[in-house]
Structure 1
Amino acid sequence: MINKTKLAIPISVIIVSVCLVWFGSEKSFAALVPGALIRIPQNENAIIVEKKSQMLYVYSAKKGLGSPTFQAPCSTGANPGPKTRSGDKRTPEGVYFLKDEFEDRYLTPVYGEKAFTSDYPNFFDLRLGKQGSAIWIHGTDKILKPMDSNGCVALENKNIIALSDYIHLDATPLIIVDQINYAPTDTLIRTQKKINEFLKQWAKALAGQSYHTYLSFYDSTYLPDISWWEAWLGMRDKVGAQHPEGFDVVLENTGIYTQGGIVVVLCDMSLSLDDSNKIYLGKRQFFIRQGTAAPLIVGDFFQTKDNAFNSGETPLLAASRMLFPDESTDKLVVETVQQWMAAWSSKNMDKYARFYTNDFICDGMGKTAWVKRKKQLAQKYDYILVTGKNFKAFPTKDGYTVSFVQYYKSSGYSTHGKKQLKLVRQDGEWKIFRENWKGK
């Protein structure tokens, strides 16, 4: 069976080969490429799994899309058709991204020597009500047979090892189709230009146009999260007063893929004030519906965020404060710290607790344990007085850091030293995310 699978050739490839013989030109062969690959970023690859032929192909931006860089027989779900629910033994069809990698020492024999997890069900799958999980590309210690998996894509061990050289987590697309459709390169170039221009105008609307203009890029069936818009508009106005050019939202390293009538875009997103002030936010993913009319976004989100933006606040706002520090915000953050000290000094521990984020951690304790310990101290001492001086606030990628000299005095203990608090914006307020203390 494996030998037959290796010889399985998509009918589209046969047609292209006939064209090559008929016209006697390599140029004619290169004119048709996989239609799913509208654009692969430089130094990136794309994986296509064709269920009908039980073959996996890798295409490379460097080599071009005329022929695959790597190919191998694979095994997909035992039942035909796209996956819709858990346990249906079908392999999904769509554009996915690989999230994690596991070596054989962490795997049971059914997964062979290496495995990569995918993001099925993705945003669009969930909108369609599709269910199930744990769709991987993996090796196998068994003899590879066509359509023999529970829904994953299985390869011989030697081929999953070879495939790993082409995979970049959270960047390399995994495109699963029933049969590869080929298209002329000029058709894909026109689509690429159309999508690039659409995203360029979206970025302009986000950077400097109205709320209504921004929303006009979205399909009526999908309303993006715009809870941050008022704060973003305020920041834009402040920047515009001193820098008429304002911010630029920059989209780079754009990959554009399509399957089933939906265009999936993955790109690097940054916020820029000028050529020397640019902050990387993370990888942005778009799901775009296109037809005879203009494209419209039916889903978008940060697939990954830069490590500095994992506190919960939208990266756009956090980065804008870094690029354009606001003295009034500096003052507000310091006042928040002073109010925190006042609540501590008054032993109002319920108010004290509200100054912390729910995911606060210090000295190995979460918020609940931290506040419990402080309440015990408040009950133990007759009085507590916490003061500070030399407050300095400076913006970070995901919030603010306030450093100062803290003086602590109670009926049973007193000390002073350097205090540093990391604050982030949550629920419209500045809250303490981390603490650092160095006593003298």
Structure 2
Amino acid sequence: MLVKKAFTYALLAAITLVPWNATAVNRFSLSNLLPKPDLNLADATAAATSLAESLLVKSLLEISEGNTKQALDTIDQLIQSVPNFKLAYLVRGDLLMAQGKYLQSFGSAGNNPTEAIRDLQDEARARIERHLAKQVKEKQPNLLLAPNDQQKHLIVVDTSKSRLYLYRNESGQLKYVADYYITVGKNGVIKQSEGDKRTPIGVYFARPKLNQPLPDLYGEGAYPLNYPNEWDKEHNRKGSGIWLHGTPSNTYSRPPRASDGCVVLTNQDLKSLEPFLQSGKTPVVIVNDLEWLDNTSDSPETQKKELTAAIDQWLGDWKAQDTERYLSHYSKDFSSDGINFRKWAEHKQRVQAGKPDVEISLSDISMFSYPDTEKKLVVVDFVQDFKSPSLKNRMQKRQYWIQENNSWKIIYEGAA
């Protein structure tokens, strides 16, 4: 009994700071997590993934209650379901070793955990914290997330929690669909240069799945993100090849920080996302330390109304060919493909000197908070229809609006 209790408390102290008790054990009803026969492929895969993660956490909770025999049965059930889940084998090894010796901590049968063991400890912690969190289904991210009607789904990645959240766009309202464990860069986040093994923070768009054969490292497949985007380029961030991709065939999941900068999911999870990614239009907002809406938060809806009013005023002043008022909507730090505010203003003053009659309309407007800045920054995409005596065109356009002195200003503008 002494060996069992010593193992239990050392295990829990090593993998999480969250309190564990019988109430937490009762929170999980595995029968409710079994895939239902009428689920579609994506929902069934998500349910199966949730079941696998729940079995892992259930085994650890059983250990915390001293039920090591039941925990071993549970972990064996998990391994039978997911034969290449390395973390499950580590827990099973600890349970077997606990029958014959004193263990100092989780995964430390050799008394000196290797880097690989520490990686698995981090994965256990991330998965446990997710299962003990309630807000992910009940609350929404504290971000302005306003996809247009063409963007049926939206992805938010929280790098600090090793989690990817999928939302469905229902007439402008985001509805939680599922969430998945993920891996990010070995050296963390805020990518700056080629080969730094960091994951970028920002707003990106997932392109369709790559068709060419890929090494086994990428598993089920890969969906490139448009890194570096306009904001990255303006800040001289280098590198390329940031993808959403799967895991090698002999690996169920990888540690929280193990990629070269990509966002990595299990092959099953990536497969379940395929219907939502293949359009090539899915926004992917990558955040570090995601905050959730509560009663004290500034409402993103308020930001949306303020920014919509600023866009309408900008458009109205452009239509009126009121150059001074039109330029007042641009930040003095404005830059676009090497053109600064002064050059932009000179160009617009020349073009609008004769005050030509113009017809301009915007459609398919989307807005996404950009998390890579201390100031409030929003990416705005739209389709622009422009007609003047000398020009007629239709283009996909992208602007970055930043809040300066409580006013929204355009800091970047260009083709999307």
Who is 2:307 aligned against? 195
Q: Is 1:145 aligned to residue 266 of structure 2? A: no
Q: Which amino acid aligns with 2:221?
A: K
Distance 2:159 2:310 in 1: 32
Which residue of structure 2 lines up, in the alignment, with residue 209 of structure 1?
321
Alignment of structure 1 residues 224-243 onto 2, 5 Å: 224=336, 226=344, 229=348, 233=352, 237=356, 240=357
Matched-pair contact (CA < 8 Å) for 2:168–2:174? no
Equivalent residue, structure 2, for 1:298: 411
- 8 Å contact kept, 2:168–2:175: no
Cα distance, 1:206 vs. partner? 2.3
Q: Does the Cα contact within 8 Å between 1:254 and 1:268 map onto a contact in 2?
A: no
Q: Pick from 255, 270, 277: which aligns with 2:385?
A: 270
User: Aligned partners of 2:381, 2:129: CA distance in 1, in Å?
Assistant: 31
SS of 2:210's equivalent in the other structure is strand
1:230 Cα offset (Å): 6.7
CA contact (8 A) 1:250 1:272 kept: no
Shift of 1:280: 7.1
The amino acid that maps onto 2:332 is S
- What letter matches 1:195 in structure 2? L
Task: Determine the C-alpha separation between the residues in 1 that align with 2:386 and 2:215.
Answer: 44
Determine if contact 2:317/2:325 at 8 Å carries over to the other structure. yes
| Cα distance between partner residues in 1 of 2:354 and 2:220 | 51
**Alpha-carbon shift at residue 131 of structure 1 (Å):** 1.9
CA apart distance, 1:100: 4.3
1:213-268 CA-to-partner distances (Å, cap 9, x unmatched) read: 2221111011456487478548962xx4xxxxx51332433233331332112222
Alignment partner of 1:95: what SS?
Answer: strand
Q: How many residues align?
A: 277
Structure 2 unmatched ranges of 5 or more: 1-86, 89-122
Q: Distance in 2 between matches of 1:223 and 1:206?
A: 19
Of Structure 1 and Structure 2, the greater strand share is in: 1
| Correspondence 1:289 to 2:399 | no
**Structure 1, unpaired ranges of 5+:** 18-28, 241-245, 274-278, 304-440
Equivalent AA in structure 1 for residue 402 of structure 2: R
Of residues 106, 127, 131, the one that matches 2:238 is 131
Residue 218 of structure 1 corresponds to which residue in structure 2? 330
Superposition deviation, residue 291 in structure 1: 5.0
For residues 59 and 101 of structure 1, the distance between their equivalents in structure 2, rounded to whole angstroms, comes to 20
Change (3 A) 1:77 1:219: same
Q: Contact conserved, 1:221 with 1:298, CA < 8 A, in 2?
A: yes
Specify which of 249, 252, 264 is matched with residue 361 of structure 2: 249
Structure 1 position 74 matched with structure 2 position 172: no
1:40 lines up with 2:150 in the alignment: no
- In the alignment, what sits opposite 1:86? 194
CA deviation digits over 1:65-92, x for unaligned, max 9? 6752122211111112321122111111
| Alpha-carbon contact 1:267-1:283 (below 8 Å) kept | yes
Structure-2 separation of matches of 1:77 and 1:268: 34
Return 121-130 or 64-73, whichever deviates more: 64-73
Q: Which amino acid aligns with 2:263?
A: V
Relative distance call for 1:211 and 1:41 in structure 2 (3 A) is same
Say which SS state the counterpart of residue 72 (structure 1) adopts: strand
Q: Given that residues 38 and 258 in structure 1 are in contact (C-alpha distance below 8 angstroms), is that contact kept between their aligned partners in structure 2?
A: no
Matched, 1:173 2:283: yes
Deviations 1:148-193 (A, max 9, x none): 1000011122222221211265532111112211124871110010
Tell me if the contact between 1:6 and 1:72 (Cα under 8 Å) persists in the aligned partners.
no
Tell me the TM-score normalized by structure 2. 0.59
The verdict on how the C-alpha distance between 1:37 and 1:107 changes in structure 2, with shifts beyond 3 A counting, is farther
2:306 and 2:208 map into 1 onto residues whose CA distance is 32
The residue aligned with 1:154 is: 264
Change (3 A) 1:162 1:67: same
- Would you say the 8 A contact 1:54–1:76 is kept in 2? yes
**Maintained 8 Å contact 2:402/2:409:** yes
In the TM superposition, 1:276-355 aligns within 5 A as: 281-303=394-416
Matched, 1:121 2:228: yes
Measure the CA separation in 2 of the matches of 1:57 and 1:136: 16
More helix by share: 2
Could you say which structure has the greater relative contact order, defined with CA pairs below 8 angstroms and 6 or more residues apart? 2
SS at match of 1:220: coil
Q: In structure 2, do the counterparts of structure 1 residues 122 and 66 end up closer, same or farther at CA, with 3 Å as the change threshold? A: closer
1:395-410 superposed matches below 5 A? none
Q: 1:66 to 1:282 in 2, by over 3 A?
A: closer
Structure 2: how far apart are the matches of 1:156 and 1:100? 18
Question: Partners of 1:119 and 1:256 in 2: how far apart?
Answer: 15
Does the Cα contact within 8 Å between 2:144 and 2:304 map onto a contact in 1? no
**In 2, are the aligned partners of 1:249 and 1:272 still within 8 Å (CA)?**
no
Amino acid at match of 2:324: H
Identity of aligned residues (%): 23
